[in-house]
Amino acid sequence: MAVLQVRVVAVAVRLVSKMIVCSIIIPVLNESAHLPTQLAELQAWRQAGHEIIVVDGGSEDASGELARPLVDQLISSPKGRATQMNKGAASANNEWLVFLHADTLFSKTAMNSLQNIFHREDIKWGRFDVRLSGSNPLFRLISILMNIRSRISGIATGDQAMFMRKAVFDQVGGFPDIALMEDISLSSKLKKMSSPYCMKEFVTTSSRRWHKHGIVKTIFMMWSLRLRYFFGASPRALAERYNRSPK
């Protein structure tokens, strides 16, 4: 009943405001520590008519149970971020797709900012600036450098809450079915169509890996993985190396 009430309110709001709504796709795997906070924040989006889709890759914790009452679709999928996001996109009902990691939070004004973008015919895809959580001043510097790099390269990463028209996503074939670097590979295809729209507004993503693995070590690992991918290393081998580090 509560879900039905949310959807009725959503339809009414949409009719009055003529909003363009999106489908927010969240791939999860054992994310019960972060998912409730994120989904609670996203209930305002649901009330405005946006669709929330969680795609569970076989969680062994309570991720699915926690998500079920707070989403429009809870989908089961084989494990793999690319596979999960593609499955979510295939079930999405709206013109725009937003891909959001389970440990990433929108700002309070992100909905209005995206609404302005959705109304622009010239924009095909884009991403937010990213900010790492935590009070360490180095995280602010790292965030700034990540955003500058993205602007220069035209490459977005999953932590930046990539968004795109569903038709464009389908046109480039979605995320490639690889074990790692699926966001970089998709960005490379998308930027051949157009440059990304780089939102100046931030999404905040967890710095848990940086805390556990160490800042310097994490920077080295990330750049090493990207360099190896650029020179043709197997995404599966890179994923095995990535997954061996603490999260």
Which DSSP string do the residues of 201-229 spell out, in sequence order?
Answer: EEEEE--HHHHHH-HHHHHHHHHHHHHHH
2-206: CATH class: alpha beta
Sequence-ordered alpha helix ranges (H) in the chain: 2-17, 35-41, 43-47, 63-67, 81-91, 110-118, 137-153, 166-171, 182-190, 208-213, 215-230, 235-244
Which of 129, 198, 125, 219 has its CA nearest to residue 164? 125
Comma-separated ranges of CATH 3.90.550.10 domains in the chain? 2-206
pLDDT in tens, 39-74: 999 999 999 999 999 999 999 999 999 999 999 999
- Alpha carbon distances (Å) from 101 to 9, 16, 171, 216, 219: 26, 31, 23, 23, 20
pTM above 0.75, yes or no: yes
pLDDT digits (tens, 9 = 90+) for 6-31: 454 444 444 445 789 999 999 999 99
